[in-house]
């Protein structure tokens, strides 16, 4: 059982990474990965919502009629997103300001509703909790990698620190919308390549 | 059907209770953050009154709309007028951008601070970005305890204004907590030693005056200007010393003009236009600025 739980936890990092393998939740990936700080902040916010909603959905799954399960899941997810929004506004105002509209938009993140429907509604609370953490950290990992690549190429900095020196001429497109698509495409290709080599 | 309704109602009721609890727990902190943000913004926007007081004034325009502005003074007994502070607001790309701006008696902008925006991260939201020259190597050196001494500088401070002024001037500076402890502990010599050294200035650039109590020391004006320049977002620096007629949107990266940020032109134009509009109303509210604006 413990091996199985470990596998449940680690699947979200590479094998079933929600961004690079399942290609879900791309809206925040494309929008907020202009800096590593934003990427990690969004990743942890989504992880909290994912873990919370997975646990609650798993707890109440037997009492919810199938016909209204989606509205119920959305209420649960929206509640956790509101909690994140309020807590961030009170305790991390700079990050809250920086992520802006993308915090409320976690409600419509496909990964969260997807895990609630595909996993939490069919599994125990413990497994759902582990799945939430694994998938959330996998999502954070994907955001962090994408953001780091874009920030370094697009600004020559990482986490507000100068990395490539003052002589480096930043490739601005990397932090603009086309740069998000190009970087994500290349990273997905890289993950596919790694998968093939392993397989 | 009744069962479905009851289940959904129960879930929303429990969610509401939970959210109510979280709201009640976080609202004092959010309000406090807002109050501190507004206070810091006023003092940043009107540096001459950074250690002074602000008097709130409500102006009723002819159209019936009310307009709030603050009169800033350098001293607590409101005899030394420094300028006005008001708030400009305009609709940006994805949010309302609120800007606190300071204006001197002649109608020239003394400073600005964005207090609210939810623009696209990395694009429009960069209007708040402070340029940095700190490198990864500097960060590693600091972690290893071999970093440069952090920049430190404060205006005149006294027993009542110490914490307030330090918070205003050192909010975004590293180790400001340590400096506060030094001042609170009465170790003024250490603080004054740090100021010129940290900013790479000669000791002649700073002057120190000690009175105990109240504790007071001053730092040369050049030091303060340098510190303020480093703490102000690059985008907003381009507004300083401009009258409303001088607010322009340029298309290239230069400190001489307001920059239209690529991909976020709407955000920058919104700030420019809302500030110009606020200055027009302010001018009417105060009965005209003392001198003609260019």
Q: Based on the domain organization, do B67 and B113 belong to the same domain?
A: yes
Minimal C-alpha gap between B19 and chain A (Å) = 7
Chain B residue whose CA is closest to A97: B118
Percent of chain B with pLDDT over 70: 59
Give residue ranges of A with CB < 8 Å to any B CB. Answer: 31-32, 34-35, 38, 60, 63-65, 67-68, 71-72, 75-76, 78-79, 82-83, 86-87, 89-91, 93, 97-102, 157-158, 160-163, 165-166, 172, 175-177
Q: Based on the domain organization, do B192 and B277 belong to the same domain?
A: no
Q: How far apart are CA A138 and CA A29, in angstroms?
A: 12
Residues in chain A with CB shorter than 8 Å from the CB of B120 are: 31, 100
The residue whose two tokens read 């419509």 is A108
Average pLDDT over residues A174-178: 87
Angle (nearest 5°) at CA A128 between A184 and A51 = 60
Token pair recorded at residue B280: 């027009």
Q: Based on the domain organization, do B60 and B109 belong to the same domain?
A: yes
Q: How far apart are CA B235 and CA B258, in angstroms?
A: 7
Q: CB A162 to CB B125 under 8 A? A: no
Q: Based on the domain organization, do B160 and B207 belong to the same domain?
A: yes
Token pair recorded at residue A54: 């997975």
Task: Indicate the residue of B23, B94, B262 with minimum beta-carbon distance to A86.
Answer: B23
Residue B270's Cβ-side half-sphere holds a number of Cα atoms within 13 Å equal to 24
pLDDT for B187 equals 57
Task: Indicate the residue of B30, B121, B123 with minimum beta-carbon distance to A99.
Answer: B121
Chain B residue whose CA is closest to A68: B4
Going A177 to A16 to A58 to B6, the CA torsion angle's sign is positive
Tally of residues, chain B: 294
The interface predicted TM-score (ipTM) is 0.83
With a threshold of 0.80, does the pTM exceed it? no
Residue B13 in domain:
no
Q: What does each C-alpha distance from A109 to A18, A23, A24, A181, B141 come to in angstroms?
A: 11, 12, 8, 18, 40
Q: Does B22 touch chain A (CB under 8 A)?
A: yes
Residue B119 in domain:
yes
Q: Based on the domain organization, do B126 and B141 belong to the same domain?
A: no
User: Residues near B255 by Cβ (< 8 Å), separated by ≥ 6?
Assistant: B234, B237, B238
Q: What does each C-alpha distance from A111 to A2, A50, A60, A195, B234 come to in angstroms?
A: 25, 8, 20, 21, 37
pLDDT for B177 equals 42
The H-or-E segment that residue A187 falls in is helix A177-198
Minimal C-alpha gap between A4 and chain B (Å) = 32
Task: Indicate the residue of B22, B30, B118 with minimum beta-carbon distance to A83.
Answer: B22
Q: CB B4 to CB A68 under 8 A? A: yes
Q: How far apart are CA B130 and CA B123, in angstroms?
A: 14
Give me the domain span that covers residue B106: 45-130+265-285
Q: Based on the domain organization, do B155 and B198 belong to the same domain?
A: yes
Q: Is residue A196 scored above 90 in pLDDT? A: no
Q: Based on the domain organization, do B141 and B221 belong to the same domain?
A: yes
Q: Based on the domain organization, do B209 and B168 belong to the same domain?
A: yes
Q: Based on the domain organization, do B177 and B142 belong to the same domain?
A: yes
Residues in chain A with CB shorter than 8 Å from the CB of B33 are: 89-90, 93
Q: How many CB pairs under 8 A join A and B?
A: 105
Task: Indicate the residue of B26, B37, B139 with minimum beta-carbon distance to A86.
Answer: B26
Residue B155 in domain:
yes
Write the pLDDT tens digit of every residue in A114-145: 999 999 999 999 999 999 999 999 999 999 99
Residues in chain A with CB shorter than 8 Å from the CB of B17 are: none
**What SS3 class is residue B259?**
strand
Task: Indicate the residue of B30, B121, B262 with minimum beta-carbon distance to A90.
Answer: B30
Q: How far apart are CA B261 and CA B227, in angstroms?
A: 25
Q: Is the peptide bond before B214 cis (omega within 30 degrees of 0)?
A: yes
Residue B67 in domain:
yes
Residues in chain A with CB shorter than 8 Å from the CB of B41 are: none
Token pair recorded at residue B44: 């940043």
Residue B12 in domain:
no
Q: What average pLDDT does the structure give for chain A?
A: 90
A31 contacts A151 by C-beta, under 8 angstroms: no
Q: Does B262 touch chain A (CB under 8 A)?
A: yes
Average pLDDT over residues A144-151: 95
Chain B residue whose CA is closest to A62: B7
Q: What average pLDDT does the structure give for chain B?
A: 71
Q: How far apart are CA B68 and CA A65, in angstroms?
A: 54
pLDDT for B257 equals 55
Q: Based on the domain organization, do B188 and B222 belong to the same domain?
A: yes
Q: Based on the domain organization, do B149 and B212 belong to the same domain?
A: yes
pLDDT for B153 equals 39
Residue B103 in domain:
yes
Minimal C-alpha gap between B16 and chain A (Å) = 8
Q: How confident is the model at residue A92 (pLDDT cuts 50, 70, 90)?
A: confident
Q: Which residues of chain B have pLDDT under 50?
A: 149-180, 195-221, 223, 292-294
Residue B238 in domain:
no
Percent of chain A with pLDDT over 90: 56
Q: Which has more pLDDT, B53 or A87?
A: A87
Domain end position, chosen among B230, B255, B275: B230
Residue B105 in domain:
yes
Q: CB A89 to CB B30 under 8 A? A: yes
Going B203 to B207 to B212 to B215, the CA torsion angle's sign is negative
pLDDT for B249 equals 62
Q: Is residue A193 scored above 70 in pLDDT? A: yes
> Measuring CA to CA, which residue among A28, A29, A10 is closest to residue A20?
A29
The residue whose two tokens read 């199938």 is A66
Task: Indicate the residue of A31, A38, A176 with minimum beta-carbon distance to B263.
Answer: A176
Domain count of chain B?
2
Q: Is residue A53 scored above 70 in pLDDT? A: yes
Q: Based on the domain organization, do B150 and B78 belong to the same domain?
A: no
Chain A residue whose CA is closest to B30: A90
Residues in chain A with CB shorter than 8 Å from the CB of B94 are: 100-101
């Amino acid at each position: 059982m413990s091996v199985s739980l470990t596998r449940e936890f680690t699947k979200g990092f590479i094998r079933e990474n929600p961004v690079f393998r399942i290609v879900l939740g791309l809206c925040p990936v494309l929008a907020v990965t202009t800096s590593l700080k934003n990427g990690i902040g969004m990743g942890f916010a989504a992880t909290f919502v994912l873990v919370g909603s997975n646990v609650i959905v798993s707890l109440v799954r037997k009492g919810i009629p199938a016909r209204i399960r989606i509205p119920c899941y959305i209420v649960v997810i929206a509640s956790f997103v509101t909690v994140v929004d309020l807590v961030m506004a009170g305790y991390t105002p700079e990050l809250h300001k920086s992520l802006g509209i993308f915090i409320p938009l976690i409600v419509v993140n496909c990964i969260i509703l997807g895990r609630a429907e595909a996993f939490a509604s069919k599994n125990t609370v413990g497994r759902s909790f582990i799945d939430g953490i694994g998938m959330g950290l996998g999502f954070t990992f994907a955001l962090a990698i994408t953001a780091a690549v874009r920030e370094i190429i697009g600004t020559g900095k990482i986490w507000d620190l100068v990395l490539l020196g003052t002589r480096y001429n930043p490739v601005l497109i990397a932090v603009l919308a086309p740069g998000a698509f190009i970087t994500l495409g290349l990273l997905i290709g890289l993950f596919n390549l790694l998968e093939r080599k392993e397989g | 059907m009744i069962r479905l309704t009851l289940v959904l109602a129960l879930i929303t009721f429990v969610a509401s209770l939970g959210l109510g609890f979280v709201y009640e727990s976080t609202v004092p902190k959010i309000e406090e953050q807002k109050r501190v943000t507004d206070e810091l913004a006023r003092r940043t926007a009107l540096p001459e009154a950074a250690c002074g007081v602000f008097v709130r004034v409500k102006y009723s325009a002819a159209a019936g709309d009310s307009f709030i502005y603050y009169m800033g003074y350098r001293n607590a007994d409101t005899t030394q007028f420094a300028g006005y502070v008001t708030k400009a607001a305009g609709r940006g790309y994805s949010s309302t951008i609120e800007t606190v701006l300071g204006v001197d008696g002649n109608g020239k902008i003394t400073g600005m601070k964005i207090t609210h925006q939810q623009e696209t991260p990395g694009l429009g939201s960069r209007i708040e970005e402070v340029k940095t020259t700190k490198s990864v190597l500097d960060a590693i050196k600091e972690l290893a305890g071999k970093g440069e001494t952090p920049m430190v500088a404060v205006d005149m401070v006294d027993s009542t204004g110490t914490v307030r002024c330090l918070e205003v001037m050192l909010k975004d500076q590293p180790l400001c907590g340590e400096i506060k402890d030094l001042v609170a502990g009465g170790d003024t010599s250490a603080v004054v030693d740090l100021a010129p050294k940290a900013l790479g200035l000669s000791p002649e650039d700073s002057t120190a005056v000690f009175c105990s109590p109240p504790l007071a020391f001053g730092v040369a004006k050049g030091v303060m200007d340098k510190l303020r320049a480093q703490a102000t977002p690059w985008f907003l620096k381009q507004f300083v010393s401009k009258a409303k007629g001088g607010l322009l949107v340029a298309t290239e990266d230069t400190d001489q003009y307001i920059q239209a940020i690529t991909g976020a032109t709407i955000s920058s134009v919104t700030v420019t236009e809302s500030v110009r509009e606020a200055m027009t109303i302010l001018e009417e509210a105060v009965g005209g600025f003392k001198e003609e604006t260019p």
